[in-house]
Structure 1
Amino acid sequence: MPSSSSHNHSSLQEGEAFTTGNFSLAPPKIQFDTWPMLPFRILSLIFVALASPSLAQQPTPAPSGGTVTGHVTCSDTQRPARFAHVMLFGVPTEITTPPNADPNAKPDPAQIRAALKAYTGGNMVQTQTDIDGGFEATNVVPGDYYVFASIPGYVQAGSIVQAALAAGADLRKSIPDIPMVHVTADRSVRADILVNRGAAISGKVVWDDGSPATQVTVTVVSAKTKEIVIPPQFSMLANPPMGNGGGEFSTTDDLGHFRISGLAPGDYLIKAMLQTRMQFVMRNGVMNMGNMMDSPIFVFAPAAFHQADAKPVTLHTAEDRGDEEVTIKLAGLHSVSGHIASAEDHHGLNTAAVVLTDTQDKDFGRSANVDAHGNFTVTFVPPGTYDLLVTNAADTEPLTKKPTAFMTVESIHTLRSYQDGKQSVIVTDSDITGQNIELAPAKTTQKDIDIEELMKN
């Protein structure tokens, strides 16, 4: 198989892998991380891209630009927002519209290209206010910028962008309540910002015996039928990059307590995410990122696996709501196991993703990867009727391990790809075994995609 550097791919096909120079990232194997989580999936991909020496070691031109000054004030106290994070965010010239939320969908190539270009080709400056709430950003590349401010407990930039989208705003032109500045070389422009106190939700996550569930990630999602998804050009605003310690997620402490602040008014569902099985291995300094991993369990408050059974929480401006509780009830859940093999010689396939999707609730599912012999076990499955889908099936072997700029990662080479397989599974009151599926070889073998070429097209 020719090296990926000899190909110029203009689009990403189903099942193809990402590469950066000599680094290859296998196709995503865990399915049910929904489109609202897309920014984080893109963030991990961007980290891989930036690990490529050709991208990470670009020469830095001498700084030349304008200056942006201003002041950040807390609307509820009318006092300065001390040591708040301020982001000058280059106004994008194009917006990639995300598709309808689909928990089974893979990131679209256009989404990936747009986010990569936003990170590697966009303009952004981060700074911080002083004790009086003032800030100054220097050597700003000429252009148009939105000016966001972020401080724990106040409505976050991502929420502001979502609200603007819901109101029909054209993000290329303006965002309500967010100043836009035009920066020119060797000149100073001012932008004053008012941050609004957000609402908060606090409570605890417990097991079905009442004991605290620790290290569980808790987030909130809109109770609306269709979630407003931030375009990839704004994906860096979706919580962590501004480094403020706040945002719309929390991790439970030793008592199972969580607190989520900085929320805009609205109706929300509280969702707990529990990772049940994962393993990362490093051997002699080489990181293996494709080890055994199951999809996380999502539980909605008060104790629902299906979003339709969740109880919405209504938050008003700056409301601080406590005593919410999420119960994780694992009793009564079962496993589905089997074997994935070649239809030609019946050998077990060492690479494949197995996905169970509830036929009555397409937003609910569980997934797992096969082991080196083609065996799989999908755990913690509620009773119901499911479609069992086998995808990304292949015979693979490790590639020669070569270091990137930051780490050495074990990647894989696909020897042969196989067609997808599907069958029905009914889970009642016991574990299901013997779900054995044999797959015919695919007409073509999946190819690696050079992420640097992906960015150019």
Structure 2
Amino acid sequence: MRAATIVLVSAFVLVVHAQQPPRDAPHPTTGSGSIRGRVVAADTGDALRKARIMASAEGARVDPVFSDADGRFQFVNLPAGRYVLSAAKAGFATTKYGARRTLEQPIAIDVADRAAVDGVDIRMPRGGVITGRVVDDLGDPMMLVNVTAGRLVRTGGRARVVTAGSSMTDDLGEYRISGLTAGSYIVSTPGMAMVLGAGVSSASAPVFYPGGASLTQAQPVAVHAGDEVPSIDFTLTPQRMPRLSVTVTDANAAPVSGLVFITQLARTSFGPIDTMQSFGIEGGGPTTIPQRPGDWIFIAQGTQGSAIVPLVVGSDDASLNLVLSKGGRLSGDVVFEGANAAPAGQVVLESVIADLPADFRAAAVVGDMKRDRTFEMTTLAGPREFRLRTAPPGWVLKSLTVQGRSLLDGPVEFKGGENLTGVQAVLTNRRSPLSGTVIDRDKAPVRVYSLLVFPEDRTLLRNPSRWIRWVRPDQNGRFLVDDLLPGDYLAIALDDVDEAEWLNADYLERMRLRATRVTLGTGEPQTITLEIASTP
């Protein structure tokens, strides 16, 4: 049997990436603008002292400030820009200005040169708390078990849990998750491995409250502002873990050399939304690891190629052969529309495995633009989606094409050996800003609302992050969507938006008949006035 070394990897994200020059940390910036306001309790209006307030804007680094005894704060010497403020204080939920819930978009504050913006009140709700206890099958407390509370979010029809808070159990098996905004939470624990001697002999399976083994069996826990929800308890039952023999070979069935990184994704009825672990194997194996039963996707990356293999693991021991192939290759040029020279800043294109959450970058492949404006991606395997990871400020990806075929409108399948040359990535700063105001039925201005903008063409909804926008107005009630590409859109102003559903076609379909059609030309700013609609 060939010897192999297994290396545990603590990082959640594995990225195949050409070496990049180090990015400089942003330097503090100064200007002549200012923001002044107060931090108050949302329920009583009482001033909150010693709250920590952060201000962020593109291209600006601003040091945090603290509220005084009257809850007042101020930021001075700010450069012009659109700022998002957030406040944090023990006993309260971290709050962004204008956002009523954790995932709601905030209200941005426009600051012009030499302008003073006053009256910015951040209303902080009291934080909700979830407490409970984790014990084993004999009732003994389990220490150092991680318990998480998350919100269920759908994007493009795929669901995932976004973690809102977590806590480790203490020596009594007790945990406390604090600082939660009002809402419904999925509470779960990933379980814990039982280590005996040199190997793992058993483990407790993940549990979703009140005791289910999968997300479909989870019962949401309702949390109200300032309330504590006790007795959200878990019992973890150790069970024998099947042993999985993993072998990594090349296309000629020869064991590979070097370190191979492997990521495991759990597949559920919601899609691949969870990971058990990432690890590395030095040498081709076979190597035996404990493996929780379930429906899995294994993603392997090494210097000799990559592999993506689905596997269903039952209660019996199993084997897995990961055959690395060089995968596909894609190369081409970057074109800056309307620019004679490349703007200052780095351009990085990214390819990710289709049907994974947008922020999950396991087995991502990236291509950095070189000095001659060319780029290259290698080891492309499986269904791939392409997007822009990094670009100079103000520039967006307009198109990515090869021989007239768009690579942005759906997954591109790579089975190995493909060589796509002549790919053209067009970046543009000729965006089509959409701005305006909102009124009610009596023609009175509305200052607090949400705006949804989405494409009229239903087929484009398959790429929600590229075509759908949810924005909030500024402090004066004006909205601005400044990163849209030319095209036909539908716009609707609502008093509220479901933050868990807004990136889904079925949710937007309910808005279609009441929305206003807007056609945006290349680089042609447009200003409109919308009448607010009630949330369906």
> Into which bin does the TM-score normalised by the smaller protein fall?
0.5 to 0.7
- In structure 2, what residue type is equivalent to 1:427? G
- How far apart, in 2, do the equivalents of 1:249 and 1:55 lie? 31
The yes-or-no answer on 1:208 pairing with 2:137 is yes
Bigger shift: 128-137 or 371-380? Answer: 371-380
1:417 to 286, 296, 305: 305
| Alignment correspondent of 2:124 | 195
- In structure 1, what residue type is equivalent to 2:171? D
Q: Aligned-pair distance for 1:77? A: 4.6
Change (3 A) 1:156 1:186: closer
Structure with higher RCO (Cα < 8 A, 6+ apart): 1
- How far apart, in 2, do the equivalents of 1:378 and 1:162 lie? 45
- In structure 1, what residue type is equivalent to 2:390? M
- How far apart, in 1, do the equivalents of 2:247 and 2:308 lie? 12
Change (3 A) 1:179 1:185: same
1:344 to 237, 244, 252: 252
Bigger shift: 76-85 or 267-276? Answer: 267-276
Q: Aligned-pair distance for 1:220? A: 1.1
Length-normalised TM-score, structure 1: 0.57
| Alignment correspondent of 1:89 | 56
- How far apart, in 2, do the equivalents of 1:188 and 1:263 lie? 30
2:216 to 291, 298, 308: 308
- How far apart, in 1, do the equivalents of 2:236 and 2:188 lie? 11
Q: In proportion to residue count, which structure has more helix?
A: 1
- Identity rate of aligned residues, in percent? 22
User: How do 1:375-454 residues align onto structure 2 when only pairs under 5 Å count?
Assistant: 375=285, 376-382=287-293, 384=294, 386-392=295-301, 394-395=302-303, 416-418=304-306, 420-422=307-309, 424-428=311-315, 430-432=316-318, 434-444=319-329, 449-450=367-368
Change (3 A) 1:69 1:447: closer
SS in 2 for 1:308: helix
| Alignment correspondent of 1:154 | 92
The yes-or-no answer on 1:182 pairing with 2:111 is yes
* Rg larger for: 2
1:324 to 227, 232, 240: 232
Q: Aligned-pair distance for 1:377? A: 4.2
- How far apart, in 2, do the equivalents of 1:159 and 1:332 lie? 49
The yes-or-no answer on 1:455 pairing with 2:390 is yes
| Alignment correspondent of 1:20 | 20
User: How do 1:119-134 residues align onto structure 2 when only pairs under 5 Å count?
Assistant: 121-122=59-60, 124-134=62-72
Q: Number of matched residues?
A: 315
* Structure 1: unaligned runs, 5 residues or longer: 1-13, 22-51, 91-117, 230-237, 240-246, 278-295, 396-415
The yes-or-no answer on 1:79 pairing with 2:46 is yes
Tell me, yes or no, if the aligned pair for 1:20 and 1:451 is still in contact at 8 Å: no
Tell me, yes or no, if the aligned pair for 1:368 and 1:378 is still in contact at 8 Å: no
| Alignment correspondent of 1:248 | 165
- How far apart, in 1, do the equivalents of 2:60 and 2:277 lie? 36
SS in 2 for 1:324: coil
Tell me, yes or no, if the aligned pair for 1:85 and 1:127 is still in contact at 8 Å: yes
Q: In proportion to residue count, which structure has more strand?
A: 2
Q: Aligned-pair distance for 1:84? A: 0.6
Q: Aligned-pair distance for 1:82? A: 1.7
Q: Aligned-pair distance for 1:354? A: 5.1
Q: Aligned-pair distance for 1:318? A: 2.9
Tell me, yes or no, if the aligned pair for 1:339 and 1:348 is still in contact at 8 Å: no
Change (3 A) 1:128 1:298: farther
